[in-house]
Amino acid sequence: MKRIYEFARKPAKRNYTIADLQELKITGRKLSMANPLNADEIRACKDAGIDLFVCGMDQIDDVRSIAPNHFCRVGSKWAQFDSNEELMADAFEAMRRGADMYYTLRSLKAVEMMTREGIPVQSHIGLIPTFSHYCGGLRAWGRKADEAMKIFETLKRMEDVGVVAVEAECIAEEVLEAVNKKTSIVTFSLGSGMAGDVIMSFVADVCGEASEEDKPPKHAHNFGNVGRLHKQIHEERVVALSQFHNEVVAEKFPYKKNNISMYEGEKNKFLEALDKWSPIHK
C-alpha cells in the first residue's frame, strides 16, 4: 500500500499508483480491472481482490467510501460535454473527488490540454463502440497489417500528447503484443488477449449476468451465473406479488396476525366515546 496525496491534496493510501502501472511494462506482471456499477458490486470487487476499478462520476463517492485505497479510473462519455473547457472542468472535479485517472474519447487537443495540467489521461484504441458507424459496425481491429500499423501510429500520437494509458479493445492479440513493447503507454486489454499490461472485463460479463438474447461479445467470458439468480429472484417476486394481489382481491389480506389491535378494554371505551360525540364537541 502506497502513501500518497490525492489530486485534491488529501492524504490517502492506494494499492497502486500511476508509477506502479507504468512499471508493469518492465515487470510483466498482470493486474485485473473491472467496472462495479453500484455499492454492492464495489464490495464484491473489493472482496474478490480486483486490482483496479472503473467507475463513473456518480460512483466515485461510493468507491472512496467502500474501497478508499483502490485505484479508480473515472471517465466521461464522448458527447457528454459541448466544449473542451467543460470536459476539463469535469476532469478536475473527478480528480478532486478521488479519481486516480481520467478517461476520455475526445480529441488529442483536448487530451493534451488535460495532460499539461497534470491530469493522468486514459484514451482508447482499437474498437471504439461510440465510433462504430465509421468502421461498419462492431468488429475486431488489426487483423490486417495496414490497420495494425494505424493502431500503432495512433498510439504514438497519443504518447506524444502525454496519454498515460489506453483501453485496447478487440485488437488482434499479436498486434497488441507487438505495439506494447514499443510504447510507454500502459495498455488495458479488453478483448485483446494477454498482451495488455492490465486485463479488463465488465462485472456483468465476468459474473454471467447477460441473458442469451443479449448475445455478449466473443471476449466476454462468464466465470459465474448470476443471471440465473436474477431470473430466479424475478420469478420469486412475481409469485409473491401475485399472491399478495389475489389475497387483497379475495379480501383475505391483511391477515389478523399482521394487524394492530387496541389494548384490552380500550375498544369499548372508544366506541362509547364515539357514540356520544356530536358537532358541539368540536
Q: How confident is the model at residue 212 (pLDDT cuts 50, 70, 90)?
A: low
User: For the segment 238-275, what is each residue's pLDDT rounded down to a tens digit?
Assistant: 999 999 999 999 999 999 999 999 999 999 999 999 99
Residue 91 has pLDDT above 90, yes or no: yes
Q: What's the CATH code of the domain at 170?
A: 3.20.20.60
pLDDT band (50, 70, 90) for residue 215: confident
Q: What is the pLDDT of residue 131?
A: 87
Lowest mean pLDDT among 69-73, 75-79, 90-94, 202-206: 75-79
- Amino acid present at 61: D
Q: Choose the final residue of a domain: 220, 242, 260.
A: 220
Residues 179 and 240 in one domain: no
Residue 282 has pLDDT above 70, yes or no: no
Split into its structural domains, the chain has a count of: 2
Residues 108, 156: contact at Cβ < 8 Å? no
Q: What pLDDT sits at residue 170?
A: 94
Provide the sign of the torsion angle of the four alpha carbons 35, 168, 219, 130, taken in this order.
positive
pLDDT at 33 exceeding the cut of 80: yes
195, 220, 245 — which closes off a domain? 220
Pick from 225, 218, 162: which is nearest to 190 by CA? Answer: 218
What pLDDT is recorded for position 281? Answer: 56
* Domain co-membership, 267 together with 185: no
| pLDDT at 8 exceeding the cut of 80 | yes
Closest CA to 62 of 89, 44, 76, 80: 44
Record the pTM.
Answer: 0.86
- 213 and 237 in a single domain? The answer is no
Q: Is the pLDDT of residue 219 over 80?
A: yes
Return mean pLDDT, the chain: 93
Query: Does residue 42 form part of some domain?
Result: yes
Per-residue confidence at 141, pLDDT binned at 50, 70, 90? confident
| Residue 167 shares a structural domain with residue 245 | no
Residues 68, 125 within the same domain: yes
Same domain, 107 and 173: yes
Q: d(Cα 255, Cα 147) in Å, to the nearest integer? A: 69
- Amino acid (1-letter code) at residue 190: L
Give the model confidence (pLDDT) of 176-189 as tens digits: 999 999 999 999 99
- Are 196 and 274 contained in the same domain? no
Same domain, 10 and 130: yes
Q: Would residue 117 count as lying in a domain?
A: yes
Kindly indicate the confidence band of residue 117, based on its pLDDT and cuts at 50, 70 and 90: very high
Same domain, 6 and 26: yes
How do 121-126 and 165-169 pair as beta strands? parallel
What are the cell numbers at 196?
A: 495488455
- Decide if 184 is inside a domain: yes
Residue range(s) defining the domain that contains residue 12? 2-220
Coil, strand or helix: which one is 166? strand
**Residue 277 φ then ψ, to 5°:** -70, 140
- Asked whether the predicted pLDDT for residue 211 surpasses 80, the reply is no
**Same domain, residue pair 180 and 242:** no
Residue 225 lies in a domain: no
25 domain-assigned: yes
Residue 200 belongs to a domain: yes
**Which CA distances in Å does 279 have to 34, 268, 269, 270, 275?**
68, 21, 19, 17, 12
Tell me the percentage of the chain whose pLDDT exceeds 90: 84
Domain identity same for 66 and 94: yes
| Residue 54 and residue 200 in contact, taking contact as beta carbons nearer than 8 Å | yes
Residue 180 maps to a domain: yes
Enumerate residues 6+ apart whose C-beta is below 8 A from 153.
none
Q: Which residue has the cell 463517492?
A: 61
Domain assignment present for residue 144? The answer is yes
Q: Has residue 129 got a pLDDT over 80? A: yes
Same domain membership, residue 270 and residue 181: no
The secondary structure of the chain in percent helix, strand, coil, rounded to multiples of 5, reads 45, 15, 40
pLDDT higher than threshold 90 for residue 77: no
Which three three-digit cell numbers place residue 49? Answer: 481482490
Which of 197, 220, 243 terminates a domain? The answer is 220
